[in-house]
Structure 1
Amino acid sequence: MSEEQKELMEFPCRFPIKVMGEQHPDFHPTIFEVVRLHAPDLDITDIVARDSSSGRYVSLTITVTAMSREQLDDIYRALSSHSLVKFAL
């Protein structure tokens, strides 16, 4: 992220994170817990799930109240390194 883009973000702010993975019964609750470690105020209603047209994949849009850029970086690192996650945007 460029310096100009960093200056455009003001914290705290609501920030959507998109997480994609294969359909798995533990995907939704596991991802919820991973994000909640870094955003303790996260509520299950902050997550919207959408299945792919084939039904093989699921995407979650998780809207967190971000307090800092560092917090968002920690969330992305945790999600990107998780075995159930294919992509985190």
Structure 2
Amino acid sequence: MSDTPTTLLEFPCRFPIKAMGPAESGLEDVVVEIVERHAPGVDEAAIRVRSSRGGKWIAITIVIEAQSKPQLDAIYRELSAHELVAWAL
């Protein structure tokens, strides 16, 4: 049995990381910092921020060049643990 995590993705690949949380919280900076820590060199053009209809929430999507499942797992683990992140997809 292999120690390599099972995944249907073929690495490297472009992969969107999405996090959502309160709009007035500095969430964008937090998400970019966390993703950048695990995937250095995030391109500004790869970052998209959308507000909810009522303006209470924002969603930040960052498309990265993912290198491995453990890299993605580390990003999601850190995003999910942060107090400002309500959801990470």
Same fold (TM > 0.5)? yes
* Counterpart position of 1:60: 60
Alignment of 1:1-89 (within 5 A): 3=6, 6=7, 8-89=8-89
Identity of aligned residues (%): 46
Report the alpha carbon displacement of residue 25 of structure 1 after superposing the two structures with TM.
4.9
The normalised TM-score by structure 2 is 0.88
- Report how many residues are paired: 85
Q: Structure 2: 5+ residue runs without aligned partners?
A: 1-5
Runs ≥4 in structure 1, deviation > 4 angstroms? Answer: none
Normalising by the residue count of structure 1, what TM-score does the alignment of the two structures yield? Answer: 0.88
**Preserved CA contact (<8 Å) 1:21 1:27:** yes
Local SS of the residue matching 2:14: strand
Query: Cα RMSD (Å) of the superposition?
Result: 1.5
User: Counterpart of 1:37 in 2: which secondary structure?
Assistant: helix
Counterpart residue type for residue 41 of structure 2:
D
Shift of 1:62: 1.1
Unaligned ranges ≥5, structure 1: none
